[in-house]
Amino acid sequence: MTGRLGVFDSGFGGLTVLADLMAAMPQTDFLYLGDNARYPYGTRGFDTVLEFTTEAVDYLFRRGCPVVLLACNTASAKALRTIQQQFLPARWPDRRVLGVVRPSVEALAELPPGAIPGVTVPGNATGNVAILATPGTVASRSFVMELEKLAPGINVVQQACPMWVPLVENGELDGPGCRYFVRKYLEPVLNGPLEISRMLLACTHYPLLLDRISEITPPDVQILTQGKIVAERMVDWLTRHPDFAARLSSGGGSWFLTTDDTARFNELATMFMTTPVVSEHVHLPRLC
Ligand code: DGL
């Protein structure tokens, strides 16, 4: 039996990854789940993010997804490892969950996709990189620790941007209020002691603010988003795991689930995806 490739985020942010997945894998069917009713994840504690993410993954598995991508850095940083090491073996041993932190770090380290089956030849990348992320991702230090392993030549600064997710979830992508908060978090990075050459938008919501971020970022600072990186590495993963590739249904369709109001989801998701989105409301059962 085949199923759709599950894509999960706390809200709308994962759509920025889904768009690139759809472009890279046009034959694949996708099932997107946004936990809009319980966003933001980025300001919540470890246990809460783990609980919410596990419920979402379990739900997508029950809807038949053989593989789920956590298109959310906060969930990837705080929940992925426990889900892979404890939840899957206990409850869903024949399914897989992947995240977005590791592929992004591989790209920052300038390692080609698939170069590291398990362990690690460090990349040669050097320079000063800024990681812009939610407070939860920053506190987890996941990017810092992975970069230390894969790219020891890179210096990292982290910047938490707590207001950016609420701006995106409310469709506030322009105007003086939005510009104020974009500047508020970027200025310390751009005017800090380290001269930054690359900046990773390490929250999947942030590409929706890319125009505002680009406005005040000097042109010699490269801004990296995760969609294409993650899509490229998902294609590579499926090539190396043909048993899972064969379990994905093909037809090139995308379906959308939200834990909040569907009319609002449809309106904003249609704006972000630029094609009409019709969603289904779902309730994620508590797991004991
Ligand atoms: N989009 C999510 C991420 O990549 C987090 C958004 C939130 O705070 O809920 O981290």
The DSSP result for 264-288, as a single string, is HHHHHHHHHHSS---EEE---PPP-
Q: Give yes or no for residue 36 CB within 6 A of ligand 1.
A: no
Q: Could you tell me the distance, in angstroms and rounded to a whole number, from the CA of residue 1 to the centre of ligand 1?
A: 32
In this predicted structure, which of 27-31, 60-64, 148-152 has the lowest mean pLDDT? 148-152
Q: Please report the pLDDT score of residue 59 as a whole number.
A: 98
Write the DSSP symbol of residue 221: S
Q: What is the pLDDT of residues 179-192, one digit of tens each?
A: 999 999 999 999 99
Q: What is the pLDDT of residues 209-239, one digit of tens each?
A: 999 999 999 999 999 999 999 999 999 999 9
Q: What is the pLDDT of residues 237-268, one digit of tens each?
A: 999 999 999 999 999 999 999 999 999 999 99
Q: Please report the pLDDT score of residue 119 as a whole number.
A: 53
Q: Is 288 a catalytic residue?
A: no
Q: Please report the pLDDT score of residue 118 as a whole number.
A: 54
Q: Is 161 a catalytic residue?
A: no
Strand partners, 5: 30
Q: Give yes or no for residue 7 CB within 6 A of ligand 1.
A: no
Catalytic, out of 65, 72, 161, 178: 72
**Alpha carbons 119 and 150: distance in angstroms, whole number:** 9
Mean pLDDT of the chain: 95
Counted residue by residue, the chain has a size of 288
Q: Could you tell me the distance, in angstroms and rounded to a whole number, from the CA of residue 243 to the centre of ligand 1?
A: 30
Q: Show the tokens assigned to 259.
A: 């834990």
Please report which confidence band the pLDDT of residue 274 belongs to, taking 50, 70 and 90 as the band edges. Answer: confident
Q: Please report the pLDDT score of residue 283 as a whole number.
A: 97
Atom of ligand 1 nearest to the CA of 71: 4
Q: What is the pLDDT of residues 24-55, one digit of tens each?
A: 999 999 999 999 999 999 999 999 999 999 99
Q: Is the pLDDT of residue 194 over 60?
A: yes
**Alpha carbons 94 and 129: distance in angstroms, whole number:** 37
Q: What is the pLDDT of residues 75-98, one digit of tens each?
A: 999 999 999 999 999 999 999 999
Decide if 95 contacts 66 (C-beta within 8 A). Answer: yes
Q: Please report the pLDDT score of residue 116 as a whole number.
A: 54
Q: Please report the pLDDT score of residue 112 as a whole number.
A: 76
Percent of the chain surpassing pLDDT 70: 97
Q: Please report the pLDDT score of residue 6 as a whole number.
A: 98
Q: Is the pLDDT of residue 102 over 90?
A: yes
Q: Is the pLDDT of residue 117 over 70?
A: no
Q: Give yes or no for residue 203 CB within 6 A of ligand 1.
A: yes
Q: Could you tell me the distance, in angstroms and rounded to a whole number, from the CA of residue 161 to the centre of ligand 1?
A: 11
